[in-house]
Structure 1
């Protein structure tokens, strides 16, 4: 597909991200791994290639017992009543103190929130592909309805361990001058693939921990924590929004 090239233009990236999101939300993670293997190997970026070659078992979520305890308390109604689902949200952004930490919250229901089409939505109603865009948005996975309840503060917060070496990819600077556009597209492609790999490793680690837990499991949503005011705070969220549901 168009994503299996060394650099992607905007259309290529949008197409690839749609495929990535569709797979990570609704398909076995082995299919996501295969997609990224093809794209990352084609990128020929030494650091990114070395990261995807590492054993999946090397990536884990530290302080998982604290998540187990929070899940047990929420399922038994020991916090704010009986909860029906757990939400683990990966923070992956340009904030070293928060990067790759995991926010733990709970919801009353394990049902995905219904799709709401706002009167002034992001969709261009005059575009020929409006219906296609709308149907695609409806197919995206969604978190349960709010409010989402937080357990007693987990301090320090759990963190995804093993992907720390990805940081230099986001810090690369694209020199201006002749050929800048090609270099910028290559940089953007590598950075986007890096963030996809981080989210995949988060999902794989979380699912592995959930499988091996001794606690009675709640249905669990794996998501990306997005900054509410990125322009005002100067925050860059590396991952795109995505939601994966892991049944109990």
Structure 2
């Protein structure tokens, strides 16, 4: 990798090999407002790394099947750190993860990079991928790389949605236009109805959203994410 353009091309190709994508780029002039790098300096560019639909699921499953402990208590976090950490080490970047302090403003970065806004479920909604995407980590760079910038969303999908099925589908009534009642949701998931519904098939309100339905996660991935909530057996 002899120059910035070659590094950028390698980075994107290496991420895609693991089912991950460069989701957005945020630049900071002279590092002002950027996160701190491992060497104590300030990042001048942050690259958001994540999945589109179920893109990471098969690479993650293949990795997990080779781990003696199944990947530990938080296998998806462990896999993300292994993959993104290796990329960071090769290109001289600092890796950041949503689960690790000091907690970084991933949602703020995503809103700035892609122009996304939150849905009633609290998940950022993408005009193409809907609610079926995520951010697994980010890379901070001391010098910007030449990436094509992701087009910012022209409009917020929730504003043009007239039916708003996400507000009508939650069996616990935890989703409203004003808020998502996490406690109400978790109480429902602990019931037999919740176990046989959302815990087995994924959040019904999320599935009801018509935006990006093509990118819906496979059923085993949906169950994995619900089980990761750490709820007691129903």
TM-score (norm 2): 0.29
TM-score (norm 1): 0.28
Q: Which has the higher helix share?
A: 1
